Amino acid sequence: MSQALCPQCKKPMQEAYRPFCSKRCADVDLHKWLTGGYVIPGGAHAEGDGEDETGGEGGLPAASAEWDED
């Protein structure tokens, strides 16, 4: 039971996209965050919380263009 599953679609996780199985699932998750799909326990307003990633990862290019396709 060492196989991790994608939290989005429950397929086997891919190391390159962990904890997801694909870039698409990772983008879905990111999109949820950006659109407020996730509720942060004990903190309805997370604005100004200090979690600011200014060009840090580099693994998540702007996906807005892809989202317009579907």
Structure tokens at 10: 């429950």
Q: Is 8 in the site for Zn ion (CB under 5 A)?
A: yes
Could you say which DSSP state residue 1 is in?
-
- Selected from 12, 16, 17, 21, the binder of Zn ion by CB under 5 A is 21
What the block records as the tokens of 37 is: 């799909």
Cα angle 40, 41, 42 (rounded to 5 degrees) comes to 110
Q: Which stretch binds Zn ion (CB under 5 A): 3-11, 34-42, 43-51, 55-63?
A: 3-11
14 binds Zn ion per the rule CB under 5 A: no
Binding residues for Zn ion, per CB under 5 A? 6, 8-9, 11, 21, 25
